[in-house]
Structure 1
């Protein structure tokens, strides 16, 4: 599983226990932690005047029955604020849907359920964090910028550099890892936990609105 960025001893205990939980409990807990991280990321990028008016407005917006009380609206707002790009947006929607299906459909018990499995396989960012051992050598060849642009190969190398900073996992059998729906989901949650904890206006490059060149 990818590296999880933990905030406090209590969260560490939760994550440790999470690995031994049932599929339902693991999905609900991990998805809820991602939502919490996103909520904090959104609040950190709002106006931060230390006034009662700002505090009251934020409280009202994020209360459970408020406009930003649901995961879906937080995901949309983060995208509209350009905190992450379209791939991250779609992955967050999938994480939200998986969590909600486990929470509200009693007949869904496992990550092997077709509806859940299909959503897990739609999680794409995780594919850039589980790399083959042979990809390590590429990390030592920084791309060169020519006339202000990257070639497609250089862009791929740059995203490898970026992902290596935030918890890349190297494996001899990448497909075995990514083909396990529970592993794919929990690793995706771990990646978002790390990136949404990033201390900056936006999360790192791989999550940005920038797109690799078409040629």
Structure 2
């Protein structure tokens, strides 16, 4: 699996909790969805940091609005926006439906089949032993193996999206001019 992008000790604790394998699919989806939402808020606040009041007004809103805001600011592609929305959908399904759910049964499995980040990695050759310019960062060494189940697919997609949020918060980040 790819390396996690870690901002601080709090992130490290969250990641260790996500990776320990002791959580139900429901708990994993809710925790990971919240972690992505937090990473997106952090990236948006970084972009909007020149106006703290505007950052608070725009960023302290619903996950769906922040996903749209990041896309409108051209922070990521339509495919990344799609995956962020699917992660949000998966989190919400688990959080708001009382019946037993897993990553392998509808409606969750339907969302899982539509994720695009992993498919992009397969096309670019990162999975199954290929090489790209950021394979070393993504894989942390040897080539990344394709996920073998929906739970691992979800976790790997979250890792990729968290990595992107971390890159957006880097020191060279610039807001597009309008």
Q: TM-score range by the shorter chain?
A: 0.7 to 0.9
User: Cα offset for 1:9?
Assistant: 2.4
Q: Is the 8 A contact 2:2 2:144 kept in 1?
A: no
- Answering whether residue 133 of structure 2 is matched by residue 161 of structure 1, we say yes
CA distance in structure 1 between the partners assigned to 2:10 and 2:75 by the alignment:
27
Encode CA deviations 1:109-134: one digit per residue, 9 max, x unaligned.
Answer: 2111211011112111123065112x
- Answering whether residue 65 of structure 2 is matched by residue 73 of structure 1, we say yes
Q: Is the 8 A contact 1:24 1:109 kept in 2?
A: yes
Structure-1-length-normalised TM-score: 0.69
CA distance in structure 2 between the partners assigned to 1:3 and 1:61 by the alignment:
30
User: Cα offset for 1:194?
Assistant: 1.2
Give 1:103's match in structure 2, choosing from 84, 95, 100: 95
Over aligned residues, Cα RMSD in angstroms? 2.1
Q: Which runs of 5+ in 1 are unaligned?
A: 49-53, 64-68, 140-159, 203-215
CA distance in structure 1 between the partners assigned to 2:71 and 2:36 by the alignment:
15
Aligned to 2:108: 116
Give the 3 Å change call, closer, same or farther, for CA 111–196 of structure 1 in structure 2.
same
CA distance in structure 1 between the partners assigned to 2:144 and 2:7 by the alignment:
27
Q: Is the 8 A contact 1:166 1:195 kept in 2?
A: no
Q: Which runs of 5+ in 2 are unaligned?
A: none
Give 2:74's match in structure 1, choosing from 62, 75, 82: 82
Q: Map residues 47-66 of structure 1 onto 2, 5 A cutoff.
A: 47-48=49-50, 54-63=51-60
CA distance in structure 2 between the partners assigned to 1:47 and 1:171 by the alignment:
35
Give 1:170's match in structure 2, choosing from 133, 143, 149: 143
Give the count of matched residue pairs. Answer: 163
Higher CA-based Rg? 1
- Answering whether residue 13 of structure 2 is matched by residue 42 of structure 1, we say no
